[in-house]
Amino acid sequence: MTAEPAIRIAGVSKRYGRTEALKDVSFDVGRQELFALLGPNGAGKTTLLHIICTILRPDTGSVIVGGLDALAHPTRSRRDIGVVFQEPSLDDRLTVYENLNFHGLVFGVPAALRHQRIAELLDLVELRDWRDRLVRTLSSGMKRRVEIARALIHTSKILFLDEPTAGLDAQSRERIWTYINQLRSQRDLTVVVTTHYIEEVEGCDRVCVIDHGTILALDTPAALKAAHGQQLLRIVPHDDAAAAIIAEYPDATVRPDGEIVIKSSGDSFAESFLSRHGTHIRRLSVEEPSLESVFLSLTGREIRDQAAGARERTLAFGRQGGEHTR
């Protein structure tokens, strides 16, 4: 039983008309793992998430959630999952409490447990004083916190967060991660999160880099950096030593200010460099490979600020409940 993954996805494909949103995607998410789906807008993250949450049906492939075939038993598998959608999905004409209670009722949580969980979770997300306020008077960061609390009122074993921190200020983003980590320490919870904030992914157990509907890489942040990132040595040599160093490392590049940048082949590289040229340099810094550079080398583009192509726009439209996805 322990070997049973929380989620097993095999050969999932989905197309919207002529655009292929997902192409033969397969992976497992282990129990209690903090699993990140990383990719630019329109990469297929949300589509994939909706398929796992049984809102969308894939064209092909299988989805097993908690050992149960989610495609064959959607209503059963929904009891085990809590979802925080990318777009707000609270009823803002109801109060915070009414929204949470509604959720408890439609998930069949018994009254006593429901009230206890609502109180606990409101404490956790620090909104106890806002319990009886209409949701529309809350800030967007607070709304997101209510949604996280809501997703956990029933006995969810897997929590899906679709861009939980998008559009929030730095402080709210940090808080949300604090809550997530607190929750993971308190209960048996698997967390699947999509994001396009690379720095948030660093703390995850495993990262799945996805673009154009295919998985480009899936591993721990450290392993991804080792495999696809590049450690760099930045050296400022004494004037007379520069020529010797450049001669020794043909792939080194010299910047206009005299700094030499050498691609490192590993941790021992810096040591061996120092043992040979340590006395000839003024300054040396080791630049650790970042996920930013991993993403760049995998997708060939920066994760942020790219203009949305036609395909991206179509999928974004689909996420908003566009006609063709319904």
Partner 1 sequence: MTMPETIRLQAGGLYAIWFREVKRAIRDRGQLIGGVSRPLLWVLIMGIGLNPYFRGEVYGEVRFVVPYTYLQFIFPAVIALNIMYTSIQSAVSVIWDRQFGFLREVLVSPLPRATILLGKILGGATVALFHGCLVLVLAQFADLSLSIGDIAWGLVLMALLAFGLTSLGVVIAGRIRGFEGFGVFSNAVILPLYFTSSSVFPLDPSLTSAQTAVIYPEWLTFLVRINPMTYAVDALRGAFIHFHQFDPALGPAALLAMAVVFFALALRGFARA
89 binds partner 1 (CB under 8 A): yes
115 binds partner 1 (CB under 8 A): no
Give the span between the Cα atoms of 13 and 30, in whole angstroms.
22
Closest separation between CB of residue 100 and partner 1, Å? 11
Helices vs strands, H then E, count in the chain: 12, 14
Give the span between the Cα atoms of 103 and 109, in whole angstroms.
9
Residues 6+ apart with CB under 8 A from 157: 6, 66, 80, 81, 188, 189, 190
323 binds partner 1 (CB under 8 A): yes
103 binds partner 1 (CB under 8 A): yes
**Residue range at the interface with partner 1 (CB under 8 A); choices 8-16, 78-86, 210-218, 240-248:** 78-86
**Residue range at the interface with partner 1 (CB under 8 A); choices 3-11, 102-110, 179-187, 194-202:** 102-110
N-term to C-term CA, the chain: 37
Closest separation between CB of residue 55 and partner 1, Å? 6
Sheet holding 214-219, edge to edge: 81-84, 158-162, 190-195, 34-38, 206-211, 214-219
Among 15, 23, 31, 79, binds partner 1 (CB under 8 A): 79
55 binds partner 1 (CB under 8 A): yes
- The amino acid at residue 282 is R
Query: What is the token pair recorded at 238?
Result: 């004494």
90 binds partner 1 (CB under 8 A): yes
Nearer to partner 1, 94 or 261 (CB): 94
138 binds partner 1 (CB under 8 A): no
Query: Which residues sit at the interface with partner 1, rule CB under 8 A?
Result: 53-55, 75-76, 78-79, 81, 83, 85, 87-94, 98, 101-103, 105-108, 110, 150, 321, 323, 326
